[in-house]
Amino acid sequence: MAVSAATTVALADDGAAAAAPASSVHPGPQLPIYSSADEAKPVVLVETVNPLTEHITTAREATCNALGSARSVVEDGVSRWIGFERKVEGEVKQIVSPDESLTPGLIYVAVAGLTGSVLTRTRSFPVRFLAPPVFALAALPYFLPKTAHNLRQYVSDAEDKHFPEFAEKHDRINNALELHWQLALDKLRGAGQDVSAWSDKAVESVESATGLKMAEAVRVGQERVEAAAARAKQEVERAAEKAKAKANETAEKAKEKANEAAASIKSAREEVKEAAAQPVEVKTLAITIDNTPVAQVDVPLPVEVSDKLAALKETKAPEDKAPEVKEEKKVEEPAKPKDEGKRLV
C-alpha cells in the first residue's frame, strides 16, 4: 500500500487497491491530540436553584410550627389537669376529717338513703326522688359529725366566693331559723315551768279540799328519785374506780412478768457464755466387749466432766466384765458460740 501527499491508498473489501482524495477523508485542518494553552478557557459553574426548594422549606417550617403549637397545647392541658387533680385532692383532704373512719360512716349514710327510698316507694315521683338525699344528708351529721361540719364550711366558703348575694340570703335564712328555734325552746321551757306551777297549784287545791298532804308525797317522791340517781352515779364512779385499779394492777403484773422474763433471758445468755468459755476436750470413746472393739465415737466434753470420767475409770473394779471404755484425749481450744450477741427467745 502506497500513500502520497495527494491521494490515500486503501484496500477494498475484495483486496483491490482504491485511491481517494485527501480532502474527502480529513475535512478541514487536522486537530492535535491535546489543545494548546492559548486555547484553554476558564470554566464557570452556574448554580441553578430547584424551584421546589422554596415550597419544601415553607411546608417544613409550617409543619414544625404546627407541631410545636400542638405540643405546647398538650403540655398546657396536662399541667392544668395535674393542677386540677392536686386542687381536688387538697379540698378532699380538707373536708374529710382524719379522726373519723369513712368506711362504716359512709355505709351507714348510704343505708339511711336507701331507707328513705324504701319508705317513700309508694309516694309521688318528686317525693321518691328527694327522699334518699334528704335522709342521707340528715344521717351524715350523726355518723360523721366532723366531716359534715367541714362540708358545710366548704359549701359556705364556695357560696361566699362565687355567689355572694345568695350567701347573704342564705345567712339571713339561717339566722332567722336559729332565732325561731331558740324562741321555740324558750317557749317549751316556759311551758314546762307553767306546767310545774299549775301542778303545784293543783296539789295545793287538792290539799285544801281533801286535807291530804299531796305536796309532801310529791316532795318525797322527788327526793327518792334524786337519791336513786345519786346512788346510781356513785355506783358508776365506784365501778370505774375498780376497773381503773384492776387495769393498773394487771399492768403492774404484766410489767413484773416482763421484767422476770428479761432477767431469765439475761441469765440464760450469761450461762451460755460461761459454758462456751470453758475449755473442751474431744475424747474418743471406744466400746469393747471381751477385748473386741465394737464402736468408736468422738465426743466433745468439758474438762470437769472429763476429769470425773477419768476418776471413775480409775476407781472401777478390775473384775467387772462390763464393756471397757478406752479414752484418747484430744485437747482443743474452746469454740466461740455462734449465737453470741444474739437474743435468746
Say how far apart CA 296 and CA 298 lie, in whole Å: 7
Q: Do 76 and 113 fall within a single domain?
A: no
Q: Do 87 and 115 fall within a single domain?
A: no
* Of the residues 95, 117, 146, the one at which a domain ends: 95
Residue 114: how many other CB atoms lie within 10 Å: 13
Q: According to the model, what pLDDT value does residue 301 have?
A: 66
Residue 147: how many other CB atoms lie within 10 Å: 20
* Of the residues 127, 143, 162, the one at which a domain ends: 162
Q: Do 111 and 156 fall within a single domain?
A: yes
Q: According to the model, what pLDDT value does residue 18 have?
A: 45
Say how far apart CA 207 and CA 201 lie, in whole Å: 10
Say how far apart CA 302 and CA 279 lie, in whole Å: 6
The answer as to whether 332 is a domain residue is: no
Amino acid at 16: A
Q: Do 112 and 132 fall within a single domain?
A: yes
Cell of 119: 319508705
Q: What is the DSSP letter of 42?
A: -
- Tell me the Ramachandran region of residue 52: left when phi exceeds 0, alpha when psi lies from -120 to 50, beta otherwise: alpha
List the strands of the sheet with 324-332, edge to edge. 293-302, 280-288, 324-332
Q: Do 137 and 115 fall within a single domain?
A: yes
Q: According to the model, what pLDDT value does residue 157 have?
A: 86
The answer as to whether 171 is a domain residue is: no
The answer as to whether 235 is a domain residue is: no
Cell of 177: 331559723
Q: According to the model, what pLDDT value does residue 268 have?
A: 83
The answer as to whether 152 is a domain residue is: yes
pLDDT digits (tens, 9 = 90+) for 241-295: 888 888 888 888 888 888 888 888 888 888 777 766 666 666 676 677 767 776 7
Look at the block and give the residue holding cell 307553767. Answer: 194
Q: According to the model, what pLDDT value does residue 27 have?
A: 54
The answer as to whether 293 is a domain residue is: no
Concatenated DSSP letters of 44-101: -------THHHHHHHHHHHHHHHHHHHHHHHHHHHHHHHHHHHHHHHHHHHHS-TTS-
Q: According to the model, what pLDDT value does residue 208 have?
A: 73
Q: Do 90 and 114 fall within a single domain?
A: no
Q: Do 86 and 123 fall within a single domain?
A: no
Q: Do 128 and 146 fall within a single domain?
A: yes
User: Residue 20: what are its φ and ψ, rounded to 5°?
Assistant: -135, 145
Concatenated DSSP letters of 9-36: EEE-TTS-EEEEEHHHHS-SSPPPSS--
Full-model pTM = 0.39
Say how far apart CA 239 and CA 221 lie, in whole Å: 27
Number of structural domains (the chain) is 2
Q: What is the DSSP letter of 225?
A: H
Say how far apart CA 46 and CA 209 lie, in whole Å: 142
The answer as to whether 144 is a domain residue is: yes
* Of the residues 140, 162, 184, the one at which a domain ends: 162
Cell of 234: 356513785
Kindly give, in sequence order, each residue whose CB lies less than 8 Å from that of residue 136, ignoring residues fewer than 6 positions away.
109, 110, 112, 113, 116
The answer as to whether 314 is a domain residue is: no
Say how far apart CA 66 and CA 61 lie, in whole Å: 9
Q: According to the model, what pLDDT value does residue 56 have?
A: 92
What are the angstrom distances between the C-alpha of 283 and each of 39, 116, 300?
120, 88, 6
Q: What is the mean pLDDT of the chain?
A: 76
Q: Which domain holds residue 78?
A: 57-95
pLDDT digits (tens, 9 = 90+) for 39-63: 666 777 888 888 888 899 999 999 9
Q: Do 113 and 145 fall within a single domain?
A: yes
The answer as to whether 74 is a domain residue is: yes
Question: In the chain, which stretches have pLDDT less than 50?
Answer: 1-25, 317-327, 329-331, 339-345
Q: According to the model, what pLDDT value does residue 83 have?
A: 94
Look at the block and give the residue holding cell 291530804. Answer: 212
Burial 305-333, CB ≥16 within 10 A → b, else e: ebeeeeeeeeeeeeeeeeeeeeeeeeeee
Q: What is the DSSP letter of 316?
A: S
Q: Which among 92, 113, 98, 104 is positioned nearest to 143, based on CA atoms?
A: 104
Q: Do 91 and 104 fall within a single domain?
A: no
What are the angstrom distances between the C-alpha of 227 and each of 173, 223, 236?
46, 6, 14
